Amino acid sequence: MDSSITLSALSALADGMLVALAPANLLYAFLGCLLGTAVGVLPGVGPAVTLALLLPVTAKLEPTGAMIMFAGVYYGAMYGGSTTAILLNTPGESGSIVTSLEGNRMARAGRAGPALATAAIGSFVAGLLATAIVALLAPWVVEAALLFGPAEYFALLSLAFVTVTVTLGQNRLKGAAALLAGIATGLVGIDGQTGQPRLALGIPELFDGIEVTLIAMGLFAIGETLYAAAHEEADESILSTGRVAMSADDWRRSWPAWLRGTAIGFPFGCIPAGGVEIPTFLSYAVEKRLSSNPESFGHGAIEGVAGPEAANNAGVTAALVPMLALGLPVSATAAMMLAGFQQYGLQPGPLLFTTQPELVWGLIASLLVGNIVLLALNLPLVGLWVRLLTIPKRWLYAGIVVFAMLGTYGMRQSAFDLWLLLGAGLVGYGMRRADWPLAPAVIGLILGPLAEGQLRRALTISQGNWSGLTSSPISAVLLGVALCVALWPFFASGVRLLSSPRH
């Protein structure tokens, strides 16, 4: 085992700490946490929407400061989301569904304070541990990724496409449709290799392609607003928080759940198996199973908030390993983070660690700082966040619409983009209505052009011979796994057919 990689990671992290603790960057981290929590706490606004809406805010900063602020937004949005899930029973994203399950019950029983506290401290513990593991693990992944050529990258991207399709959303056909629609959108514009415009209809505004952030704001923010307007729901009452303090018993029950949640969430976040839905539910099931009084679950069991919240945060943090080291976003939030990098013309991947070490390690270190800032910010200020929940819906959503338009227009001062935003919003509404997952569309939009480029490069190397794609063991295995995952339902039903007559 080569310990020099770990050692150099530690020294790089120490350098990163110096970057993160520079006064200006500390201020950006603080601002990011504040804005992220404020927007993330708004009902109907999940972390992905928060990131999409706040991308333009960071557009004019220098990259390191912007990414640090973005890391704060990332975490702040998560904290804000769980606050909403607990107090309002409206989880902003799939990762918070489980939190609202027990957390809202606790709040109804007058124990909102301990629920918020265990969520915040659990996220803090998980975030801290997960960031440390990211710092130690990422260099190894980078090391492996440096061996990747175009064929291996194409195989990895194919695997990501398959797993994203299978795991995000309930129905793999709908996931595939969303993914392919995203890839098709990514094809619009001038082809990088031949200079030919594709799918652009001769419209000059489309020659540069369609911005990922624009599509994300349309699908998430405008789509959500349209859905909320058309599907009027009774207002959930906001529950009061009470004292944000945990009793000795709460602590005793919470801390093992935090650690178990972290252990469950991290591996799921690393692999391209999409999002935090599975680990949060898994953590909930584990806590229920290990609990000495499982009958308290469903009536406000604190472990049921502590475990899933930790799993959620660990998973979200772990998603940074494939995102930073391979340029592979595995969830909608990670995809928005990647869009943030692309805003500066930076392409995450193994090379970024050597070309921009200050940025990468400053970002990782600022995750640690951001966690501490958040804990200090959230528990005392929870009363302020709760007041944000009382903003009337009509102003809240009208504000979201205007903010999305501002962000879209601000990117390149083009009124044409606002029409695209409206179009993406209507598509987002249709997808919500038909229960299509949104994340594969955004991931396809980001990864589609990469996959095409790698495929064409790989085939150029093999002189147009398709067997070149499977000539290396790594790419053959990756493609094989992708094929197995894609065809699994057929295998499963085949096995069932074969085995059933015997019983």
Partner 1 sequence: MSRLPALAMPIALAAGGAFVLVQASTIAAAGGYSNIGPAFFPTLIGGLLLALAPLLAWGAWQDRAGTAAEQTTPPARVQLDKLAWIAAGVTLGALAIERAGYVVAMSAAFLLAAQAFPSQRAGLTALRNDALVSILFSVTTWFAFTLGLGLRLPAGWLNRLPGA
108 binds partner 1 (CB under 8 A): no
Which listed residue (456, 474, 476, 477) binds partner 1 by CB under 8 A? 456
24 binds partner 1 (CB under 8 A): no
CB atoms within 10 A of CB 428: 26
Which listed residue (34, 180, 271, 476) binds partner 1 by CB under 8 A? 180
Structure tokens at 3: 């310990």
222 binds partner 1 (CB under 8 A): yes
237 binds partner 1 (CB under 8 A): no
Which listed residue (89, 163, 225, 475) binds partner 1 by CB under 8 A? 225
387 binds partner 1 (CB under 8 A): no
DSSP 8-class letter at 90? -
Q: DSSP labels for 374-437?
A: HHHHHHHHHHHHHHHTTS-HHHHHHHHHHHHHHHHHHHH--THHHHHHHHHHHHHHHHHHTT--
Q: DSSP labels for 274-325?
A: -SSHHHHHHHHHHHHHH-S-GGGTTS--THHHHHHHHHHHHHHHHTHHHHHH
Pairwise CA distance, residues 113 & 81, whole Å: 16
Pairwise CA distance, residues 40 & 50, whole Å: 6
| 392 vs 501, beta carbon nearer partner 1 | 392
Which listed residue (57, 214, 259, 302) binds partner 1 by CB under 8 A? 57
H-type helices in 89-111, by residue range? Answer: 97-108
Closest CA to 181 of 423, 486, 493: 423
Least distance (Å) between residue 200 CB and partner 1: 9
Which listed residue (7, 10, 110, 171) binds partner 1 by CB under 8 A? 171
Considering CB under 8 A, how many residues would be counted as binding partner 1? 68
Return the exposure string of 314-347: e unless at least 16 CB atoms fall within 10 Å of the residue's CB, then b: bbbbbbbbbbbbbbbbbbbbbbbbbbbbebbebe
| 178 vs 318, beta carbon nearer partner 1 | 178
Least distance (Å) between residue 147 CB and partner 1: 22
Which listed residue (183, 259, 311, 325) binds partner 1 by CB under 8 A? 183
* C-alpha Rg value of the chain to the nearest Å: 22
DSSP 8-class letter at 146? T
18 binds partner 1 (CB under 8 A): no
| 122 vs 169, beta carbon nearer partner 1 | 169
Which listed residue (14, 198, 208, 492) binds partner 1 by CB under 8 A? 198
493 binds partner 1 (CB under 8 A): no
34 binds partner 1 (CB under 8 A): no
Write each residue from 397 to 436 as x if it is in contact with partner 1 (CB under 8 A), else as -, in one continuous string. xxx-xxx-xx--xx--x-x--xx-xx--xxx-xxx-xx-x
385 binds partner 1 (CB under 8 A): no
Pairwise CA distance, residues 29 & 380, whole Å: 18
| 140 vs 409, beta carbon nearer partner 1 | 409
- Residue carrying structure tokens 């607990």: 86
The region of 94-102, 115-123, 287-295, 390-398 touching partner 1 under the rule CB under 8 A is 390-398
- Residue carrying structure tokens 């093992």: 256
Which listed residue (4, 292, 390, 463) binds partner 1 by CB under 8 A? 463
Which listed residue (204, 392, 473, 501) binds partner 1 by CB under 8 A? 392
Least distance (Å) between residue 78 CB and partner 1: 24
137 binds partner 1 (CB under 8 A): no
Amino acid letter for position 436: W
What is the SS3 string spanning 191-246?
A: CCCCCCEECCCCCHHHCCCCCHHHHHHHHHHHHHHHHHHHCCCCCCCCCCCCCCCC
**Distance, CA of 103 to chain centre:** 22
Maximal C-alpha separation, the chain = 71
Least distance (Å) between residue 362 CB and partner 1: 21
Q: Which residues bind partner 1 (CB under 8 A)?
A: 56-57, 59-60, 171, 173-174, 176-177, 180-181, 183-184, 187, 191, 193-194, 196, 198-199, 201, 222, 225-226, 228-233, 392-395, 397-399, 401-403, 405-406, 409-410, 413, 415, 418-419, 421-422, 425-427, 429-431, 433-434, 436, 448, 452, 455-457, 459-460, 463-464
